[in-house]
Amino acid sequence: MKKSRKFAETVFWNSLKSHFMKQNRINPWSWIPSLYFAEGLPYVAVVSISVIMYKNMGMSNTYIALYTSWLYLPWVIKPFWSPFVDLLKAKRWWIVAMELLIGAGLAGIAFCIPTHGYIQTTLAFFWLLAFSSATHDIAADGFYMLALNQNEQSFYVGIRSTFYRIANITGQGALIYFAGMLERKTGNIPYAWSLTFFVIAGLFLAFSVYHKFGLPHLSTDKLNSNIAVKSIFKEFGLTFKTFFTKKHAVTAIIFMLTYRFSEAQLLKLIQPFLLDSHEKGGLGLATEQAGIIYGVVGVIGLTFGGILGGILGAKGGLKKWLWPMMLSMLLTSVTFVYLACFLPTNKYVIHFCVLLEQFGYGFGFTAYMLFLMYYSEGKHQTAHYAICTGFMALGMMLPGMMAGWIQEQLGYLRFFVYVMLCSIVPVIAACLIKIDPEDKQ
C-alpha cells in the first residue's frame, strides 16, 4: 500500500514538474520580446543608421540614397529563398545562426569604418547584414506561427509589434544619440561610429546565446524528409503563378509599387536635411538632436498613427479608410516644405512637424498593409503575403535610389515640393484598384 502511494506521489510530482518545465520552456513572454527586438534592430541599422553614419563621414546625398536604397534588395527577393529556409534546417537553427552572422556583419562594419577604403568594405558588410536580417525575418515569423496557436498569435501580435518598434527607437534614437555624443566628446567621427557598431555587435552575440538556450524546442520545428526538392520547386512555381494570375493583378502590383513613391524619397533625405547646415538648406542639428527628433519623437508619431489606423481600419474596413489614410500620409509631408522654407530654430516647432509627418505616415501605412492582406487572401495566403512584402520593399528601393541626386539638383526646399507633386502617382494608382465593398480587412 505504501509502495503504491509512494509510486502515485512520484508520478504526480514528476508530471507536475514536467508540466511547469514545459510551460517555462514555451512561455511566449520569455522569447517574443527579444526575438522581435532582434528582428527590428538590424533593419534599422541597414536602412536608417547607415544613412546618418555615411552623412557624418562626408558622403554626398546622391551616393547615400543610392547605396542605402540598394540595401533593400534582400527584402525584395526574400520570397525566392524563403521555401529553402524550411527545407534545409529547423527555424530555431536559422534564428540562432543568423543572429551570429548579423553580429559578425556588425563587427565587420565596426572594424572597417576607420580604414581608408571604408565605403566599399562597410557596404559589403551591410549587404551581409541585410541578407542575414532578411533570412532571420523568415525564420522568426515562421517560428512564431509554429510555437503559438491561432488565439495566441492574435494575442501576442501587439507584443511583437511593440518590441519591433522599441528596436526602431533604440536604433534611430538611443544608438544615434550615443554615436553623436561620442562624436562631440572625442572629435573622432570614425571612432564614434566604430564603437557604436561594436556595441550592436555585442548585443547580437548576447541574443544568439540567449536564443540558443531560451527558445523552445518545438516538435513541429523539424525537417520534413518526405518532401522532395522537385516538389518544393513545383509548389514554388504554383505559388507565383496563382499570385500573378489573380483578378486585377496588374493594377494591384502597380498600387503596391507606387503607394510609397513619395514617402520612399522623403525618408531617404529627412535625416540628411536635419543634419545639413543652414547654408546647405538644412536645419543644422547635431547628431544627438537628430537622434532624439527622428528616433524618438518621430517613432512616437509613427506608433500612434499606426495604432489609430489599426483601430479605425478594423472597424470600417479598407474600402472606407483607403482614401483618408492615403491622403493623410501624402499631405502631412507638407511639414517638410514648411521646415525647408523657414528653417526654424525652435526645437518644439521641429518636433511638432516631424511628429505630424510621421503620424500621418503611420496612419496612412495602415491602409497599405490592409491592402496587402486583402490581396493575399486565398489558398497560398502566407506565401502571397511574402511576395507582396517583396513588392513593398521594391517600391521603397527604386524611388529612393535617385532621391539623393534629385535633391542635390533641386536643393531641399524644391525637393520637398517635388515630393509633394509626386503624390499624384499613388493617387492615380489608388483610382485603378478594385476593392470588394464587403471587405472588412
Domain 30-218 matches domain 233-435 at the CATH topology level = yes
pLDDT 10s digits, 63-94:
999 999 999 999 998 888 777 777 778 889 99
pLDDT 10s digits, 114-128:
998 899 999 999 999
- Report pLDDT for 18: 45
pLDDT 10s digits, 36-65:
999 999 999 998 999 999 999 999 999 999
- Report pLDDT for 437: 56
- Report pLDDT for 6: 55
How many CA atoms, within 13 angstroms, populate the side-chain half-sphere of residue 421? 6
Asked if 79 contacts 386 with a C-beta cutoff of 8 angstroms, the reply is yes
- Report pLDDT for 395: 93
Asked if 343 contacts 273 with a C-beta cutoff of 8 angstroms, the reply is no
Asked whether the predicted pLDDT for residue 11 surpasses 50, the reply is no
pLDDT 10s digits, 400-420:
999 999 999 999 999 999 999
Q: Taking Cα atoms as reference points, which of 437, 438, 407 lies closest to residue 422?
A: 407
pLDDT 10s digits, 287-307:
999 888 988 898 888 888 888
What is the residue type of 197?
A: F
Provide the residue ranges of all domains of the chain, joining segments of one domain with +: 30-218, 233-435
Cα 51 from Cα 34, distance rounded (Å): 25
| pLDDT average, residue stretch 269-297 | 92
Q: Does domain 233-435 have CATH number 1.20.1250.20?
A: yes
Residue 25 burial (C-beta neighbours within 10 Å; 0-12, 13-18, 19+): middle
What is the residue type of 399?
A: P
**How much of the chain is in helix, strand and coil states, percent to nearest 5?**
85, 0, 15
Q: Taking Cα atoms as reference points, which of 262, 259, 366, 367 lies closest to residue 322?
A: 367
Instruction: Give me the percent of the chain exceeding a pLDDT of 70.
Output: 89
DSSP string, 83-100: HHHHHHS-HHHHHHHHHH
Asked if 35 contacts 95 with a C-beta cutoff of 8 angstroms, the reply is yes
Q: Which fold has domain 30-218?
A: Growth Hormone; Chain: A; (1.20.1250)
Cα 217 from Cα 99, distance rounded (Å): 17
Q: How far apart are the first and last CA of the chain?
A: 62
Q: What is the pTM assigned to this prediction? A: 0.83
Q: Which residues, at least 6 apart from 165, have a Cβ–Cβ distance to it below 8 Å?
A: 40, 299, 302, 303
Asked if 360 contacts 328 with a C-beta cutoff of 8 angstroms, the reply is yes
Q: Give 244 or 22, the one with higher predicted confidence.
A: 244
- Report pLDDT for 247: 86
Cell of 161: 509589434
